[in-house]
A and B are shown apart, each in its own frame.
Chain A
Amino acid sequence: MTKDDFYVGYQDRAPVSVGGTMRRVAVALIVVAVALAAGLTAEQDPFNDAVFEFLEVKTFEGVLRSDPVPMLEVTRPSSEGASVSSYLLVKLGKHGADDLVDGREGQRARIDGTLVYNGAVTLIEVADGGVEILDGTPSSRAEPARRLLGSRRLVGEIVDSKCWLGVMKPARLKTHRACAINCIAGGIPPLFVVTNGDDADVYLLVGSDGRTVNAEVLDFVGESLIVTGDVAMMGEWLVLSAEPTGFTPAAP
């Protein structure tokens, strides 16, 4: 710097040479920052194509089920005749819907809520006060409750069903761990997700005796695990019955 180059910030103008240097530095910094932004955002890992119909409340009619987790059994017309779908039920926020189905097993209800779906499985986020009992007479299940597929040893990750099915993306691994723990602790059914490239098999996770295991799996959420248990098909849902005491970490 020569004497003429000396920069004093509170003066109105910088020396010409200093101003020129600063213009070049500012442009270079902005170009590098923008290039970094483009690279970092383009290089993000893929997001799944799950859907959360945020702010879109729809009305559903069906039969309330509490086994193995709160669900609404809905009859849907199709070209091959009527079919039955079981939609998971959760409440707003990070709260499960156990209290909405307690004592209402098999009752016919109308539910206002928001659809969340990922692949073949669907969840309804029930709106506040969104349950209306249409018929208090319990009805039996429309199809056999479970079809046993056998024992399996699976490598995957425990996630919460609400976020995984579309409320949050991504809804797995370390960055989502605290959220998933809060959701599962709040009663939202846990899922065991086995990823294979872009595909994922999704299992409703319950204890070997069919009990809910939310409190027992909190320590394992968001980590790669080996889980051995019995797998059954229940409607469109795969149900994995396994004991959390047998969960073991998988090699990274």
Chain B
Amino acid sequence: MSLNYRAVGWNRQKRLYDTALVTGIVLYLAVFIAIGLTTHPEASAEVLMIRGFGSGAFVLLHVILAIGPACRLAPRLLPLLYNRRHMGVAMFSMALVHGALSMLMYHTQGDLNPIVSLFASNTHYDDLMRFPFQTLGFFALVILAFMAATSHDFWLANLSAPTWKALHMLVYVAYAALVMHVALGALQAESSPLLSGFVVVGFAGLAALHLFAGLRETGRRDRSLAAPRDGFVDVIALDELPIDGHGHVACLSGERVAIFRDGDEVFALSNACQHQNGPLGEGRLIGDCVTCPWHGYEYERTTGVSPAPFTESVPTFAVELRDGRVWIDAKPRPARDAHHGGEA
């Protein structure tokens, strides 16, 4: 969590993360170009760079898209999620080099403005196999540029979490455009089975990962609870709630609720972190605060308000213990205006 907006609030873990990321990217490019020049000495360096940066960005995009569902299935991978935006910006930078070099090589120094040339040199928009694939890459690059530019928490706070999250789901549109960009471009010109295999396996793997994580999520969500009595819902036996700081998630009137136990006290908050809608119920009760597993945002367990000087807050739910069972008010208490006592 950070109160003031800085480009990056560096700490040891961020440095390790970015060191691994940069090492991976540098090694990928170095190996691609060095082995390319060795096995294909006739190749030109600029084409190897176009291909190296392009393929590297595409590979990295697969990693980025896999992180979300992978973390749902294996929470030990959550550190990958914490600085995923660094990965996104790095991937965009590689894609930008690929796009800029391609524009320079293929669309400059002619009679047409390079942007006009991109759209007007190949005009077979009505034919899938002859479709101007470079326009799809450009379209994806514009989306990735928008996402990279708004990746900072400054934009998250100013656009609001749901809007920011919805906008950043455009990464899937970019991915679809890039799959078609590769399928209608490189795959039509190159005979490499590894390249075509990567595109097919990558797409199938990501689809399966998302589907599997989604099905598991739906399974959790579908656990039915008894109808409310006096507005309260019987959620779980007190003894079934973890006592080691882990949470429990229940679905009340369509809203997911994160429930934590400390001794004989039980606390219920909205499951959606205000930062990026992270699942608070999969976080931890540490001291008096519930900590989000995604980016560590904290909410005081009774009020749902982030400790000062932070200003985030989430709705909370009234809890009653009846005969050893936990009953929760189906109607949430609105999120409080942080540190001013009123409702937001």
A residues at B contact (CB < 8 Å): 1-3, 5-14, 18, 21-22, 25-26, 29-30, 33-34, 36-50, 52, 92-95, 168-170, 173-179, 181-183, 185-186, 223
Contacts and interface: CB of A to CB of B under 8 A. Distances in A.
Contacts of A185: 110-112, 121
Interface in B64-100: 75-80, 82-83
B76 A1 contact: yes
Contacts of B80: 22, 25
| 6 A-B pairs with least C-beta separation | A93-B109, A9-B82, A182-B110, A94-B110, A43-B192, A179-B106
11 contacts: A10-B296, A11-B13, A26-B20, A36-B194, A44-B192, A45-B190, A47-B42, A52-B44, A178-B122, A179-B121, A182-B121
B284 A6 contact: yes
B107 to A, nearest CB: 7
Nearest to A178: B121
A72 B77 CA distance: 66
B52 A178 contact: no
Contacts of B60: 33
B281 interface: no
Interface string B94-135: 000000000001111111100001100110000000101110
Contacts of B75: 1
A185 to B, nearest CB: 6
B278 to A, nearest CB: 12
Given A8-B291, A34-B27, A37-B31, A22 B109 contact: no
Contact of B134 (A30, A37, A92, A178): A178
Contacts of B226: none
Contacts, number: 197
Contact of B52 (A37, A46, A48, A177): A37
Interface stretch (B141-149, B160-168, B181-189, B214-222): B181-189
Given A10-B9, A169-B42, A40 B27 contact: no
B47 interface: yes
A49 to B, nearest CB: 5
Interface stretch (B33-41, B250-258, B313-321, B335-343): B33-41
Given A9-B83, A18-B79, A174 B35 contact: no
B111 A94 contact: yes
A176 B106 contact: yes
Contacts of B152: none
A46 B24 contact: no
B42 A40 contact: no
Contacts of B24: 26, 29-30, 33-34
Contacts of B31: 34, 37-38, 41
Given A18-B79, A175-B189, A41 B35 contact: yes
B32 interface: yes
Given A10-B1, A34-B27, A93-B109, A223 B59 contact: no
Contacts of B191: 45
B47 A42 contact: no
Contact of B35 (A14, A37, A178, A223): A37
